[in-house]
Amino acid sequence: MHLRFAALTASFVIGLAATAQAPTSLKDAYHADFYIGAAINTAQITGQDARGDALIAAQFDSISPENCLKWENVHPQPDKYDFTIPDQYVAFGEKHHMFIVGHNLVWHNQTPAWVFHDDKGNLLTRDALLARMRDHIHTVVGRYKGRIQTWDVVNEALNEDGTLRQSMWEKIIGDDYIAKAFEYAHEADPQAQLNYNDYNLENEPKRYGAIALITKLKSQGVPIATVGLQGHDSLDWPTLDQQDATIEAFAKLGVKVAITELDIDVLPRATRQQTADVTVNIAQNPALNPYVNGLPDAVQQQLAKRYADLFTVFLKHRDVVNRVTFWGVTDADSWRNDWPVRGRTSYPLLFDRAAQPKPAYTAVIQVATTKSSQ
Ligand code: G3I
């Protein structure tokens, strides 16, 4: 009885505090804890999506480039770099005084085939590919030296069992391509915070692989500052224990943790495996797309609770977590509408298709408000 009264009183007091000081934005709510970011697309970068831009400026204090800094976009041909969109991306972040993310330098996807071949079509030697990698990293990182604060240097280098992926980078250069990429990025901008970024690190086999990798890199003096947990989550994965243990495990290694690509899938699972592999493509099927006309309230509430639970874990680790970035701004923007099945109606973010805050938005703000009233 007493306990119940105490709990009721506590929630009443928290409720009062929430009313009195309810922050009006995500970035204000988490200002003392970590950056709140969003991945932004070309329409937002170029000002074509004015409604999206207003929302980004009002709600977020960090941005990531959803696609424009990937190798195939910024460096489509051997002697051609295209900085048109990236320059506008960085200018947008500077205009709004944001923490600006670079994504990404070395990945097995979205990298043109020519990168790995000479002009006769033969595979490059280790030295030639290292020289090409160094040139790319120096050109791109060097251009934005002191203006892009953090780079995803290597993206998705691990298999699900924790072994190193046999990418073209690994096959031609060998396992030390990762250390080399960090070394080159550090040469190009010694102040930039350098990140290793991957998905599914909450699953133990892959997490242990990442722990071994980071431990080795650190023992070699490689300048790695953060591990990025992408966070392409679902309503039931990862468990809160997995999320908590994963952040804690990397914190112990002496690196910070960034949540780099957060979104939560509410649609029926189309693949047996939990993955964020962009090459997966499943055939369309109405059973996999049940919410074309709107999200039922019960699912909306589940999503809100799920976001609140995850943010409670992130907040618990606010000494280590330096940023939480959503992979998109509104549900209409999300890659989840076209992956792993094309043309679905997905609801993974905090703002709906009309750019209005969803119950999940309120729940995320409430977590911060509750914390600051304790
Ligand atoms: O730009 C072309 C456009 O000209 C063309 O008309 C259109 C036709 O489909 O395609 C456009 O390119 C698409 C591009 O996104 C921009 O919308 C590509 O097909 C599509 O494959 C690409 O998908 C991106 C994907 O990475 C692959 O690069 C997603 O937007 C992006 O959200 C996603 O982001 C990745 C992270 O970089 C790494 N972690 C996983 C995450 C989600 O997959």
pLDDT tens-place string over residues 168-185? 999 999 999 999 999 999
Convert the pLDDT of each residue in 109-147 to its tens digit: 999 999 999 999 999 999 999 999 999 999 999 999 999
CA distance 340 to 129: 32
Q: Could you tell me if residue 233 is inside a domain?
A: yes
Structure tokens at 57: 């400026």
CATH code at 76?
3.20.20.80
Q: Is the CB of 335 under 6 A from ligand 1?
A: yes
Query: What local confidence, expressed as pLDDT, does residue 273 receive?
Result: 76
Q: Total domain count for the chain?
A: 1
The one catalytic residue in 66, 156, 183, 202 is 156
Domain assignment present for residue 329? The answer is yes
Does residue 202 have its Cβ closer than 6 Å to ligand 1? Answer: no
Q: So what's the pLDDT on residue 320? A: 98
pTM here is: 0.93
Residue 63: inside a domain: yes
Instruction: Please check whether residue 4 lies inside any domain of the structure.
Output: no
In a domain, 354, yes or no: yes
Looking at residue 372, its pLDDT comes to 62
pLDDT score, position 279 = 81
Going 120 to 126 to 129 to 134, the CA torsion angle's sign is negative
Count the Cβ atoms, other than its own, within 10 Å of residue 319. Answer: 10
User: Residue 341: which of 292, 268, 273 has the closest Cα?
Assistant: 268
Mean pLDDT by 10 residues, the chain (374 residues): 36 43 90 98 98 98 98 98 98 98 98 97 98 98 98 98 98 98 98 98 98 98 98 98 98 98 95 78 89 97 98 98 98 96 97 98 97 64
304: three-class secondary structure by DSSP? helix
Check whether the bond before 122 is cis (ω within 30° of 0).
no
Single out the residue of 270, 254, 265, 269 nearest to residue 230, CA to CA: 265
Mutation probe of ligand 1 site: the residue of 156, 278, 280, 327 with most atoms within 8 A of C-beta: 278
pLDDT number for residue 371: 78
Instruction: Kindly state whether residue 275 falls inside one of the protein's structural domains.
Output: no
Inter-residue long-range contacts of 314-317, CB under 8 Å, 24+ positions, other chains counted: 314/34, 314/247, 314/259, 315/33, 315/367, 315/368, 315/371, 316/244, 317/244, 317/247, 317/248, 317/251, 317/257
- 156 flagged as catalytic: yes
Residue 1 in domain:
no
Q: One of 66, 183, 202, 261 is an active-site residue; which one? A: 261
The pLDDT assigned to 280 comes to 80
Atom of ligand 1 nearest to the CA of 328: 32
Domain membership of residue 276 (yes or no) is no
Give the residue numbers spanning the domain of 150: 10-267+283-373
**Phi/psi-derived region of residue 67, left when phi > 0, alpha when psi is between -120 and 50, beta in every other case:** alpha
